[in-house]
Chain A
Amino acid sequence: MSTVAGGTEVKPSGVVPVPTVSKPARRRRLKPGTAFKYLFLTAFAILFIAPFIYMVTLSFQPLGDMFSYPPHWIPLHPTVSNYTGFFTSDHPIGRWIFNSAFVSISITVLQLFFNSLLAYTFAKRKFPGRDFLFFLGLATLMLPSQVTLIPNYLILRGIPGFGGNDLMGIGGHGWLDSYWGLIAPNIGNPFAIFLLRQYMVQIPDEFIDAARVDGANHWRIYWKIVIPMSKPALAAVAIFTFQFQWQAFFGPLIILASRQLYTLPLGLALFEQAHRSVWNLIMAGSVVGALPLIIVFFLFQKQFVQGISLAGSKG
């Protein structure tokens, strides 16, 4: 700890500052500062983690203990019945978890495929109308989502031939209250297209020209050259999309009606409003709902931080 001054913003660049005459005095003054820094950081870290620990604790307590006073940090009567309750209670929490996983993974995969196709054509193809379309897509980033909210609801309701609709899109509920309605409007994502396009532009044209000479068509170039070379950007988009869709609430709230189709956030929120006496199940559901994103974060921490700086510098 006492080696290089801890508080001065020396980056680990291998350049050790040459100690000057004034240095020893300064270093001695910094010592309590360093201790204070660790104390401060640790206190903050505890403040940030404590609610999670409490959530996990609650998820192993029977309902009666949750409503006893004072609150317990360590369960008096530990039980896993809150977790097994996912499958026995008449509120299908297990099914909600499946719905969330199915919908968010589907959206992530479809987004990666279709948006990378668009990004490739915007980055590496030349065709009439390209710049106009790209500009139009960028312009919609300015549009608050509230504007298209109501029309999209009506469009989903009017999809012909689905959900009891006739060929004019009248009579039933269309894609409302279905997986289709949750997935289809979320496939296109201008932000992802922009991010991917900015990344693909940097791929040297020589690779593509060489493949053209060797007789590869555009699909092959896209699949065999551009996609493998864009992995960091694709990883960032995949992580952000999954994170965003896993916790989506507003869309499912207005689109879904059947309890069987609820996603986990929607199920938990409506469940809590309807029955205030199920907090133990809600806490267990919350722990399960928080886990995937925490796991994704631990697995892809590097891509995560990279992605944020990618978005920050390009945005």
Chain B
Amino acid sequence: MAQVTAPKQPITVTPPKRSITRQMRNEWTAYAMQLPGLLLFAVFTVYAVGAAAYLSFTNYDPLARSGDFVGLANYRAVLHDTTWWAAMGHTLYFTVGTMIPSMVIGLGLASLLNSKIRGLSFYRTAFYLPAITPLVIATLLWKWLYNADYGLLNYYLLKFHLVDAPVQFLQKSSLAMPSVILMQIWLSIGFNMVVYLAGLQAIPAELYEAAEVDGATAWQRMRRITIPMLWPTTIFLVVFQTILGMQTFDQIFVMTSGGPPGPGGATTTVTYYIYLNAFQYLKMGKASALAWTLFVVVFALSLVQFRWYLRQVER
């Protein structure tokens, strides 16, 4: 890099007015560099979005490789599909039920780690370990821990006489979703903690020093400095985890397969239900309509979150 000598004077070449085609011809290497990426984007995103819109108005059958135009029939079916709206509810339950505890605990651990502490990297690694475990593998492990006959959890619950009979964690409708949520909290605390820790370290120490001089209590410092200064971090985490929550699939597929029987399968999430429609029931038209409905809901949700963000920033 050192050999590259900068010109003594900045060269200012005022380009003569050129037509767009001339510009395009001059910058052809830029297009050449874009070409592979653009090609992939054109096929797997632009064309795919168009195809998804078209499919949602057909009853496409992947085996026969054909389908007829059915107008709004799929969307009407979606509106009256109680399983779908139950799946929306389950997804919301899962997302919020995971997000709030793991953010609160993550923030708590981050503020404990943000002081002078021995073994910081040990604790940070320990808390982050679940977050870097492949999701399917973590889920398989927890499925074994939850096992009613041989699982570790039931062993300790029975040993300390907290229950009289083994708990059917994944077989009982009322317990299945909380069990999946508990695992997900364990998985996601680490990420929340690392992001909050980065946020905490960005807060100027002078603020705390000034507050201490003014005699602010620990709670007042938390309430008046830490939480307001962490708003951007918190918003990022909420948005990020909402998006992830909407995608929830692996955990459900591996742990419960959408069951046990409840209103529409007590742990059936939106993504799992779309998967069932598209690849098990082979109703790709209806599955596409489901996906677009999801898009509308997610879009509305992010608008709400964005307005909420603006309100907090203005304050």
Asked if B221 contacts A293 (CB within 8 A), the reply is no
Q: A9-B221, A45-B123 are in contact. Are A117 and B36 (CB under 8 A)?
A: yes
B84 within 8 A of A: no
B52 sits at the interface (CB 8 A): yes
Query: Contact check: which of B113, B116, B279 meets A10 at CB < 8 Å?
Result: B116
* Docked complex: A54-94 residues within 8 A CB-CB of B: 54-55, 58, 66-71
How many residues does chain B have at the interface if contact means C-beta atoms less than 8 Å apart? 112
Q: With the chains together, A209 CA to B38 CA distance in Å?
A: 26
CB atoms of A144 and B246 under 8 A apart: yes
Instruction: Determine whether the beta carbon of A155 is less than 8 Å from that of B44.
Output: yes
Bound Cα distance A265, B201 (Å): 36
Are A188 and B40 in contact (CB-based, < 8 A)? Answer: yes
Question: Which segment of B27-35, B71-79, B93-101, B170-178 sits at the interface?
Answer: B27-35
Question: Which residues of chain B (117-144) have a CB below 8 Å from chain A?
Answer: 117, 121-123, 125-130, 132-137, 140-144
* Contact (Cβ within 8 A) A272 B254: yes
Query: Which of A41, A137, A140, A243 has the most chain B CB within a 10 Å cutoff?
Result: A41
Q: Mark A134-159, 1 if CB is under 8 A from B, else 0.
A: 00010010111111111111110000
Is B209 at the interface (CB under 8 A from chain A)? yes
A-side contacts of B23, CB under 8 Å? 127-128
A126 touches B27 (CB 8 A): yes
Evaluate contact between B34 and A69: CB separation under 8 angstroms.
no
Inter-subunit contact B37/A265 (CB<8 Å): no
A141 → chain B closest CB, angstroms? 9
> Is B194 a contact of A305 with CB atoms below 8 Å?
yes
Closest to B198 in A: A309
How many Å lie between the Cα of A213 and that of B9 in the bound state?
12
Residues A269 and B291 in contact, CB atoms below 8 Å apart: no
Query: Of residues 80 to 126 in B, which have CB atoms within 8 Å of A's CB atoms?
Result: 109, 111-117, 121-123, 125-126
B4 touches which of A52, A210, A294, A301 (Cβ 8 Å): A210
Asked if B249 contacts A250 (CB within 8 A), the reply is yes
Contact A268 B133 (CB under 8 A): no
For residue B11, CB closer than 8 A to chain A, the reply is yes
In the complex, which residues of chain B have a beta carbon less than 8 angstroms from the beta carbon of A55?
Answer: 141
A–B complex contacts, Cβ < 8 Å, 12 sampled: A10-B115, A11-B201, A44-B126, A45-B123, A69-B149, A69-B150, A142-B302, A146-B291, A150-B284, A155-B43, A193-B37, A254-B275
Interface set of B (CB-CB < 8 Å, partner A): 1, 4-7, 10-11, 20, 23-24, 27, 29-31, 33-34, 36-38, 40-41, 43-45, 47-49, 51-52, 55, 62, 65, 109, 111-117, 121-123, 125-130, 132-137, 140-145, 149-152, 155, 159, 186, 189-191, 194-195, 198-201, 205, 208-209, 212, 218, 221, 226, 233, 236, 240, 243, 246-247, 249-250, 253-254, 257, 270-271, 274-275, 278-279, 284, 287-288, 290-292, 294-295, 298-299, 302
Residues of A within 8 A of B (CB): 4, 6-13, 15, 17, 37, 40-41, 44-45, 48-49, 51-52, 54-55, 58, 66-71, 114-115, 117-118, 120-121, 125-128, 130, 133, 137, 140, 142-155, 170, 184-185, 187-188, 193, 206-207, 209-211, 213-214, 217-219, 222, 225, 228, 243, 246-247, 249-250, 253-254, 264-266, 268-269, 272-273, 279, 282-283, 286, 289-290, 293-294, 296-298, 301, 305, 308-309, 312, 315
The 9 closest A-B pairs by CB, nearest first: A247-B134, A151-B51, A265-B136, A151-B48, A127-B27, A45-B126, A309-B198, A148-B48, A125-B30
